[in-house]
Every structure is written in C-alpha cells, then in structure tokens.
Amino acid sequence: MLSSCSTLGFQGVVNHGFEEEVSRAVRLLEATFATSSKAQMNSWRKPNLGYGPGLQQPKQMANEHYTTLQGNYNACTREDFIFVNPDAAVRKRDGDPYYNNSAAQPWCGDVENRCPDAATEEALTAYYRAMETLSQRLLALTGEALENDPSLLSRFSVRHTTNAVAGFHGASSAAAPRAREMVSAHSDTGLLTLLAYGSSGMRGLELRDPSGSWLHVEDGSLPEGALLLNVGDMLHRLTNGRFLSTPHRVVERGGDREGARKARMALIFFFAPAYDAQLEPVVEEGGEAKFDPVVAGRLTHNYLTAPAEQRDAFDEFCRKEGLLV
C-alpha cells in the first residue's frame, strides 16, 4: 500500500470480501437510471439546491466549482445521486447535538435519504456498511505503513461525514470531435475514495503521473470485482505528503472509433472524518511538518459548496470550541 500510494496515489483493492454488496448496488442503480422516466427521476430528486441526499438539482452540479490541492473541481455535465450515512437521520431525530447544532448544517442539514424504491435503499445501505468497514481496514493499514500502528488513524472513522455518490454521464448519439473534459482535473477532498464502475467500465478516467503526463486507465486494468482506491487531500496532509492525492479527470476522447458515447456510471464512496476532527500531519522522526493543522470540515466538499452563512457558522463554531483553524 505504501509503495503505490506514495508513487501514484491510486491502487486496486482486490479480495476485499464485499463483491456482492458492490455489484448489487451498481446493477440496481445503473438499471434504474437506464429505465426511469424524467418524472420518476424527479420524484427522488432533492427538492432544493444544496448538497444532500437524493438526485441533485441540475443547477447544483453546474454551481459546484471549488479548489482542491490538485486542481479545480467541475463536473457540471454529470448527474449525481447521493446516499448519506443511514444512521444519521435517526441520530438527528434523537437529538444528538453533533447532528443538530448550527455548525453541522453543511453535513447534517438534510440527512433523509431519498431512494427510487425499497430495494435500492436496501442495496445502498448494505453497500454503505461494507465500504465503511473496508475504509476502516484501509485506515488501519495506513497506520501500519506509517508507524507500524494500526490504531494510529482510527479516530478519524468516528462520526465520519462520508457520502456515497453515484455519478452518471448520459449516452450521446455521436462522439465529441475532439477530446473534452467531462470532469475537470482535481484531487478528492476527503481521506480516501473507493470507486466501482458500471457496465461501461473506467472508460475516460485519466491520472496525472509525477512527471505531469496523463495516464489513460484502460478497462481491464483491474480484475473483476476489484475496487479502485485513491488517496484524498486529507490523507495526503495526515501522511505529511507521503501518500499522494493525485490529480485525475474524466475525458471523452475525441474521434472515438465506436462513434456514440455510452452511458457511464461510477459508484463512489468518499470517506471523510468528522467535521470537527483536527488534522495534524504524522511526521517521520527527524522530519518537519509540511502542512499546518486544519479542521477537517473546512476541506470537505460539503463545506466548499455550502452557502456562505453556513460556512461562517461553522468557522464561528471552530473559534468558540478552540479548534485549529
């Protein structure tokens, strides 16, 4: 893990034990998007703007532009369906202050999952639980790689603000005459990302290697059932730069010999810590920290796309609590 994450920031995860949970969620979501009418899709669309569970409003994706460590994120041609922690709504209704205070709005303002049907909700819940467990295992492996301590980063899995996202690019009757970005070059903001792909595979995914060249990820690069793992900005900071949060993008390649573009789906698990977690680099003996400590919430997608008043409320919370900002 240390070798691949420190040279490219991406690697395959094989024999993880959750192949069925992942496969079922991917199959159901892909079939639902392929067969649902516009009216059906609108019934499980989030009713207003703002990042949260359900199919996002079209203007939400067009408005999501923000800066990461490795580029500026833009994916406005994509439809995003979001599934949040299935326990969050219950905890919020039970009055847990972590979910109910004003600072929590970017993550917990809307936590009621909106799914097309009961079968999809069941499949996504099983998928979420599986990826949650796998992410915790990967954090333990990271701790072992850094300091031979599997518990080193375990605190970052407590009250995590993780989202699962199904990102869809619709089919096109003709390929673009030249290559164009469908998702701009960026790095992910969280700890780590786990990706599974629909029937069109990883087609269009590109990674930038340390020399600055773009590497096209070919279908068949990973064995069946494997997941793609990439390091996020938070893990890059925590490892003091030893693990790389690599720029990546999705490109429709111009002049495709197959002509029409197939629909493309990625099921993405963005694992991120609690919004009030403090990130401080783990520095090797004799080394120096390359990053200042920072409150995790200020780096997340939710915060970066939230209204200004919500960001201000969170910043004020951090000041009052004496958190590092």
Question: Mind listing the pLDDT tens digit for each residue in 200-245?
Answer: 899 889 999 888 999 998 878 889 999 999 999 999 999 999 999 9
Closest CA to 44 of 55, 28, 29: 55
Instruction: Kindly state the helix (H) or strand (E) to which residue 10 belongs, with its residue range.
Output: strand 10-13
Q: Which of 47, 167, 51, 41 is nearest to 107 (CA)?
A: 51
Nearest to 76 by CA among 65, 68, 87, 91: 65
The per-residue pLDDT for 257 is 53
Average pLDDT (8-28) is 95
Give the chain's mean pLDDT.
Answer: 91
**Phi and psi angles of residue 287, each rounded to the nearest 5 degrees, phi first:** -95, 180
Structure tokens at 218: 């070919």
- Confidence category of residue 83, pLDDT binned at 50, 70, 90: very high
Instruction: Answer for the pair 83, 128: CB distance below 8 angstroms, yes or no.
Output: yes
Which amino acid, 105? Q
Residue 69 near residue 274 (C-beta atoms within 8 A): no
Per-residue confidence (pLDDT) for residue 62, from 0 to 100: 81
Q: Tell which wins on pLDDT, 255 or 73.
A: 73
d(CA 12, CA 230): 9
- pTM of the full structure: 0.94
Domain boundaries of the chain, sorted by first residue: 2-321
Give 258's pLDDT tier (boundaries 50, 70, 90).
low
Residue 116 has pLDDT above 90, yes or no: yes
Going by pLDDT thresholds of 50, 70 and 90, the confidence category of residue 176 is: low
pLDDT surpassing 80 at residue 2: no
Strand-pairing partners, residue 186, are 248
Comparing 162-171, 172-181, 202-211, the range with the smallest average pLDDT is 172-181
Instruction: State the average pLDDT over residues 147-172.
Output: 93
**Percent of the chain with pLDDT strictly greater than 90:** 76
- Quick one: which of 67, 62, 28, 65 has its CA closest to 44? 28
The yes or no reply on domain 2-321 and CATH 2.60.120.330 is yes
Q: Say if strands 214-216 and 180-186 run parallel, antiparallel, or are unpaired.
A: unpaired
SS3 content of the chain, % helix, strand, coil (to 5): 35, 20, 45
* CB neighbourhood size of 253 (10 A): 16
Give the C-alpha separation, 284 to 241, whole Å. Answer: 11
Confidence band for 6, pLDDT divided at 50, 70 and 90: confident
- pLDDT at residue number 219: 78
Average pLDDT over residues 304-323: 95
pLDDT score of 195: 97
